[in-house]
Structure 1
């Protein structure tokens, strides 16, 4: 899935340069194809009705070209020039006309800018090409968080059959990261990325995803580069303009006919699996200067975060929360109880705004407003715990939708969330105060993603993100089957761990009454009445539900009765539909599903046919499924049990897991046949 390579450029004496490139598997293919230019859409593209490589595609990226190069006229900068062309094939593809361009601003002197934005929509009307230019009024800029902004574009006159083009330049003061993504949610016919690498910089280069390059190449080019420099004399600063000629390494990577990326059940965010290139700057060495090694270590990142205004410095003045801490921690007999009380206080006081953040402009302002992001709330929690004399540190997390953090690449951008790591005695508790309904020490599902990084000096440390509880679901029923085929009885359900939390969240979102009504009408074949919910507001207890269950029968007794023994809890389809899978299967937590149903058989009937027992187990008991049916003392007993005993399965284990689910679906579909005695 990942391939590493180092791009290294070393500066030598007397303005003579040699380039050292250590690459993996680069064929000498040459730069045979020049980049396309804006406005070069073809009649073939406009007449296209279907994309041959994926006839179901609603849209296709015909061409996506990016070229990164370095600038030296306003300090050291890097710019990305991009041109993208998309064909709309079906109505479902019209949303591709809404384009977002994210960019980053740290402060006035350290920012990114989106420049030279142009766009056109092309349509065939009456056999002629009609070209409509993007209106400036259709371009909007929004602030997404403290540092991230986005340009949003609504392309004009887009309809099925349109070809849209967008071109822009991103000029950036940040040389530390370069990135290009080849894959998208729609197919990509051609994606190409080039970099003109200067001889001053050394980058670590990471390739992720499962798609192979159509072309890989590098050639050395000679290029004049403009620069400005400052000279000081007698307290007067003068600016000097000039240029110098360098030998640059121009890299080219191309992927062709890249399939659309589609989410599959039980997987983390698409960022983990999209085919993309990422570069991290590790060393800078200018002419006649000593090399400067970038903060490419966890030690460097930990030290940097302690001094960050919107992170480490937020935790220095904890005294402003003294009164709140005294109120929260009052009557705490021991340290652990104090931690629990302070977390409960923060949960009660604060309302999460739903935003995933690692930086906070001001945790004091967020506290006064009683609302904030994950960073506002959990850095506040950390500060209050520290004010109480407790060992608490921020922990950076990448949520499941954001992708698994790169543990070998010390970059803040690999994270998007922060929680608190709290040490009490020898135990460490991972706390997230954004969700009031979670018990103490239980992380929300979004945070169960590999490992998180505690930002402690000297180099931080990685800890697994997991909950101690399993997801559990226990369903039992005492039912009676009548000669007419009518089935009636009482069902009880019990949910524990993350299952209980998700159920509580659903009930509170819909409202208890609406939830009960919706459940009652879920399956018209079955009638649910007398619903009872226990422990709905007790987050540390299993959530329990009970109700009567009824299914109508015939008007007269019948000679053969067909019973679906799993009632309304059968697994009807296999979630793993694809024949093959490239990605791991991530359940987040181990889980148990147990169903025990007992049926009182009608007098005068006997079992004509019933499912056979089955007991399946994957290697090392990583997953198990058992199904048992027996008749005793005039009663039919069914037990179905599924155990997922580890949170993550590799792609190599997919076939075995898929087969286990297939056998479970088939077994749940089998019926019990009861025959009237002659």
Structure 2
């Protein structure tokens, strides 16, 4: 994190900044090289490249000014001629507008076609407080070889200031990227966590190449600073399977106004106000107290109390998985705005964060030490303590001290089993309450045994070479949470349809799938079990042999890691277990010639794979187990991890070979 405390002033940089602003309002004459270029050597086969990108932010004008020059290199690259510019409509201060759109297309022979169209508006997304809008337009006469050049301004309300965020790394290669911010020299007042603060500084958190740095220039004669970043030949964002959150891997500079001088000072200061607001919401309400006394009994152990209170919260409606009720609906029902835990309990519904806070209130009312913790969602980002912003904290969980040890619980995630955290919150980090204050902290990791998927196929092959039988899938931990959330967002019919499609994607094409039963859908402490009936042809037949899948659930799998090298680490959702068992009973007219050979491989002490077969009479059963004991693997481990995957994914595709006709000696177990 870079921080500049206080703003001294200057005059000379005014001369420095004005030409930069003017440049964004001018067109750039293309060079002969730009006109004739057909590729960018650093990114062979690229559909397009940015020749130039520029964003100028002027606080005095409450405006961002954008300027883009893009070269179309292939037919696919022509899609960049359709431009969508996002802005917000909402409450005071949220409103932004897009203005001054202008553009032109330059053909490879130098012919200029000006943009004369009229952009139209469309709504992209609507939430309770804001609409995400887009202005959409198409550049004229876009061809392979065209240079697309356009500019526009994004404006916001005059009584608000928005610090910029710079993202130099995008999906396309950039020859040049230039960013300038002219921040206000005024003392700013901001309100958050129930208090007002005066900001007399700005700070920034950079993730940049080694040779890049934000330049801070003080203008002579006043309190005006200019912040600038110039980059050349910026590689595109990596596009690799199983990447860590892009927010932690792509180049960026996040700016913010602040009154704090250090990161430690910020988290202690803002954390104090945040904790005070949490305690105010939690309160000591009579409804919570009555609920607790009705739920637990004298003599309950700490664990029994917690389990009962946790189960009581899980019974309430979580509006993050159903829907939030509008203010108008609440007023018609005679309900006021939710201000405390009692209000959540009275309504018997609340958001994920509100339910987590209600649980903390209930545990405190039961006489135990409990705290709120705000964590980053690992699917979106990893916590960055040098980014001085509470907005990177996504979700609330609960921390309960039991016999001197902290127990992390996730009552805000519907159907998360007691004593566990959903994968997005495990081994995450954030800000938590502690006795007498706040602290930055990490959450606990979940063992690989928590996330388990088991698949069992019991199939019979008939004389027409059709497989029929029963398939059972069992989900525990995170996979079960995922399917239970799918159920919350639909009805029984839609859930069965989703489960049917899920299995159809795993099985050989053309197999018919029927969902029979779904067990333990709301019994979140038990495995979620789904029973299917399946029927259809599978495998390949010759005159004398029938080749069937060695594991019917894996026939459509493709190699996971095809790249020899990669830039980023490998990032799975969670450590997990996968167990398959498939039995095929075949007619007496067939004999077993071979089946997937017994094998086992390990990757360090972090992953393991086994496969074996067991023939009995006129049947064969294949057992396949994969255990991933970790979820993140650094780039230095990629070659070894890729080799491990290559071995077992090859074994996954080994076939069961049945011979037609005369009997022969049965294959030995594991052969």
Query: Which category describes the TM-score, using the shorter chain as reference length?
Result: 0.7 to 0.9
Task: Choose which of 81, 91, 101 in structure 2 pairs with 1:119.
Answer: 101
Change (3 A) 1:515 1:55: same
- Over the residues paired in the alignment, what is the CA RMSD in angstroms? 4.9
Q: Do residues 643 (structure 1) and 619 (structure 2) align? A: no
Aligned to 1:463: 442
Task: Choose which of 601, 624, 643 in structure 2 pairs with 1:659.
Answer: 643
Partner SS state of residue 129, structure 1? strand
Instruction: Indicate if the aligned counterparts of 1:402 and 1:416 stay in contact, CA closer than 8 A.
Output: no
Instruction: Indicate if the aligned counterparts of 1:198 and 1:249 stay in contact, CA closer than 8 A.
Output: no
Aligned to 2:667: none
TM-score, length of structure 2 as denominator length: 0.74
- Paired with 1:466 and 1:65, the residues of 2 have a C-alpha distance of 42
Counterpart mapping for 1:406-445 below 5 A = 406-409=384-387, 411-445=389-423
Partner SS state of residue 25, structure 2? coil
Change (3 A) 1:252 1:596: closer
Counterpart mapping for 1:135-534 below 5 A = 138=121, 152-157=133-138, 161=142, 163-168=149-154, 179-194=165-180, 206-208=205-207, 211=209, 213=211, 216=213, 218=215, 222-225=219-222, 251-262=228-239, 264-278=240-254, 296-308=265-277, 311-316=278-283, 318-319=285-286, 321-329=288-296, 333-353=300-320, 362-363=339-340, 371-409=349-387, 411-448=389-426, 450-456=428-434, 457-468=436-447, 469-481=449-461, 485-506=465-486, 509=490, 511=494, 513-515=496-498, 518=501, 523-528=508-513, 531-534=516-519
Aligned to 2:27: 40
Instruction: Indicate if the aligned counterparts of 1:356 and 1:417 stay in contact, CA closer than 8 A.
Output: no
Aligned to 2:55: 66
- Paired with 2:362 and 2:64, the residues of 1 have a C-alpha distance of 46
Structure 1 residue 644: deviation in Å?
Answer: 0.3
CA offsets per residue over residues 111-154 of structure 1, 9 Å max, x none?
A: 6885884323445799663334877x8498998577xx677341
Structure 1 residue 8: deviation in Å?
Answer: 5.3
Instruction: Indicate if the aligned counterparts of 1:119 and 1:165 stay in contact, CA closer than 8 A.
Output: yes
CA offsets per residue over residues 580-618 of structure 1, 9 Å max, x none?
A: 222232333321112233444544654444443332111
Partner SS state of residue 313, structure 1? helix
User: What number of residue pairs does the alignment pair up?
Assistant: 613
Instruction: Indicate if the aligned counterparts of 2:453 and 2:473 stay in contact, CA closer than 8 A.
Output: yes
Partner SS state of residue 100, structure 1? strand
Instruction: Indicate if the aligned counterparts of 2:486 and 2:495 stay in contact, CA closer than 8 A.
Output: no
Counterpart mapping for 1:23-34 below 5 A = none
Q: Do residues 130 (structure 1) and 107 (structure 2) align? A: no
- Paired with 2:538 and 2:552, the residues of 1 have a C-alpha distance of 14
- Paired with 2:500 and 2:258, the residues of 1 have a C-alpha distance of 59
Structure 1 residue 625: deviation in Å?
Answer: 1.7
TM-score, length of structure 1 as denominator length: 0.73
Structure 1 residue 563: deviation in Å?
Answer: 2.2
CA offsets per residue over residues 439-469 of structure 1, 9 Å max, x none?
A: 2233334334522431334332413254355
Instruction: Indicate if the aligned counterparts of 2:555 and 2:653 stay in contact, CA closer than 8 A.
Output: yes
Instruction: Indicate if the aligned counterparts of 1:182 and 1:191 stay in contact, CA closer than 8 A.
Output: yes
Change (3 A) 1:465 1:113: farther
- Paired with 2:236 and 2:347, the residues of 1 have a C-alpha distance of 46
Change (3 A) 1:250 1:265: closer
Gaps of 5+ in 2: 143-147, 188-199, 325-336, 664-671
Partner SS state of residue 315, structure 2? helix
Change (3 A) 1:612 1:467: closer
Task: Choose which of 537, 540, 558 in structure 1 pairs with 2:522.
Answer: 537
- Paired with 1:419 and 1:434, the residues of 2 have a C-alpha distance of 7
Instruction: Indicate if the aligned counterparts of 1:186 and 1:261 stay in contact, CA closer than 8 A.
Output: no
Gaps of 5+ in 1: 18-29, 72-77, 226-243, 285-291
Partner SS state of residue 446, structure 1? coil
Change (3 A) 1:47 1:515: same
